[in-house]
Structure 1
């Protein structure tokens, strides 16, 4: 009986010991579960905050920008931006319009229908004077893109004497660049040649096609278009090359992007974001010619095969800040010395040039 009693006590004590171990294990597991639950709650809270921030960025209201460009090199440089805007991946919301003549763009800016616009370089200076400083230039977008072409071999500029040169761009960069180069080479543009202006580049091509001995000045990509329509048409001179041979350090600047000053003052961060996207678009066009050519056709600028040939000769650039100011001021000064009216009667002051934030 004594042995049995001792065995029962031993069994009872062992049961108590096991129960105690089981209880301690349960407490540890409970604590672990509690800690894990707290961690999960923290992670969920963190994820919730991140998701809220992401949704806030996704739902960030975009600024509407009314953007105008001219059919040609300036709009070619913008095609990737157009595409990004259509795909809702651009930082801003762009309502863009491609115009055929500078006059239409000027009207849009003056009436406040456009916030930003690509215009001929000298026309920006004229607008600055006429609007009493209500526009600013943001960047240079195009350097020299003008060429003299005909079916004939023209060895020297003197061979143009007594001839008619058909072109467009009266009162803008094409006219003044041509006049400046002729004068600097001893040719009077009012007496020695006849400059016949058309309202659009397509009209120049049509006139050239009808006249076997016709001579025209055309920008790219319209020169490439003309070569596909006119057998034997050849490039006689690049105005950029002729300009670079003249005394001085100025470059031939064709196009710039301008902004209404009031829009810029109220939306500097937005405009700076536009400039980043614009530079990316220009870089894309110059580096991805096939894709850019396809976009050119999509946006009805020129057909893809034409754009593919023309883009390398379009001299599309992005020049901003101090580099823009230096290049543009030197170019405008060269026009001013020729005729003050070409830049609006006087050279623009410092406020004309946007330097960024």
Structure 2
């Protein structure tokens, strides 16, 4: 059974979600009519993140039809949750990739944003070069977790407790600034395992091979989620937020963004080489790493 805290988190995500994807023809026509009646937005600031969702946001910024509705598009990558939080509160980012937990937190704090959608349904896994295949194997180990208090930590603590572990007593948790730092520490032998999203997990595996380290996916947290909850082996990890002021004033643009992201998902699935090249441009990893990572990423 899902505990109360996690249930509240999932309810918050639903409350935060203001819109859903629409792809049928009639809605597409309505979107075009509304968009044509709106004044053109001078500048749209879109934020990407250090995970695979950035490919979809980059496609939106560079290749979708939003360019017909916006004078200029400013696409940038935020590195930390604190940076995203500050940019959302200040309004510097009008649309951004976001962990669902952070969007729920902002919503709870009355920050005027809504979660437009969920695009990533779980790519959090534990990676290690040791004989770790279960939560029991993590006892007395050092586990690297990025973003203290964020979704990775929340999910791990919940699943660990459901598997009979006390994370604060049975193993050592070492928090890192981001996934990149967790990978660096894992490769340096300063952690026994790391909880990583994609493309960081695949990056750790391939960089480990170069150093003679056999880093593998040790525990699939999506599968563990399914076992514990009795639900599908996926959970809402990341999506897209938007300022409510943008939603209220430019509904046609928002619908174009939604449809552009649907298009981006389809494009990335049909064109993995091109998607990998676009991801490499923004994620700081080579295209082959990104392409392999796409196989781990349920969009």
1:127–1:226 CA distance, 2 compared to 1 (3 A): same
Q: Give the Cα–Cα distance (whole angstroms) in 1 for the partners of residues 41 and 229 of structure 2.
A: 47
* TM-score, scaled to structure 1: 0.67
Partner of 1:245: 227
| Contact 1:151–1:213 (8 Å) recurs in 2 | no
| Contact 1:183–1:189 (8 Å) recurs in 2 | yes
1:248–1:88 CA distance, 2 compared to 1 (3 A): closer
1:77 matches 2:56: yes
Give 1 or 2: higher helix fraction. Answer: 1
Question: Offset at 1:207?
Answer: 0.7
Gaps of 5+ in 1: 1-56, 317-357
- The alignment of Structure 1 onto Structure 2 pairs a total of residues equal to 256
Question: Offset at 1:300?
Answer: 4.3
Pick from 183, 199, 207: which aligns with 1:221?
199
1:143 matches 2:121: yes
Partner of 2:250: 267
Partner of 1:26: none
Pick from 111, 124, 133: which aligns with 2:90?
111
Question: Offset at 1:111?
Answer: 0.5
Partner of 1:335: none
Partner of 2:273: 290
Pick from 213, 216, 222: which aligns with 1:234?
216
Pick from 166, 175, 180: which aligns with 1:202?
180
1:213–1:272 CA distance, 2 compared to 1 (3 A): closer
1:244–1:271 CA distance, 2 compared to 1 (3 A): same
| Contact 1:167–1:218 (8 Å) recurs in 2 | yes
Output aligned runs, 1:23-102, within 5 Å: 61-62=40-41, 64-84=43-63, 91-92=69-70, 93-102=72-81
Gaps of 5+ in 2: 1-35
1:309 matches 2:287: no
Pick from 134, 156, 159: which aligns with 1:156?
134
Q: Give the Cα–Cα distance (whole angstroms) in 2 for the partners of residues 264 and 209 of structure 1.
A: 43
Greater shift after overlay, 162-171 or 292-301? 292-301
Q: Give the Cα–Cα distance (whole angstroms) in 1 for the partners of residues 245 and 41 of structure 2.
A: 18
| Contact 1:296–1:307 (8 Å) recurs in 2 | yes
Q: Give the Cα–Cα distance (whole angstroms) in 2 for the partners of residues 62 and 113 of structure 1.
A: 15
Greater shift after overlay, 248-257 or 225-234? 248-257
Partner of 1:17: none
Instruction: Give the structure with higher Rg (CA).
Output: 1
Q: Give the Cα–Cα distance (whole angstroms) in 2 for the partners of residues 167 and 135 of structure 1.
A: 27
State the superposition RMSD in angstroms.
2.1
1:169–1:90 CA distance, 2 compared to 1 (3 A): farther
Partner of 2:112: 134
1:273–1:234 CA distance, 2 compared to 1 (3 A): same
* TM-score, scaled to structure 2: 0.80
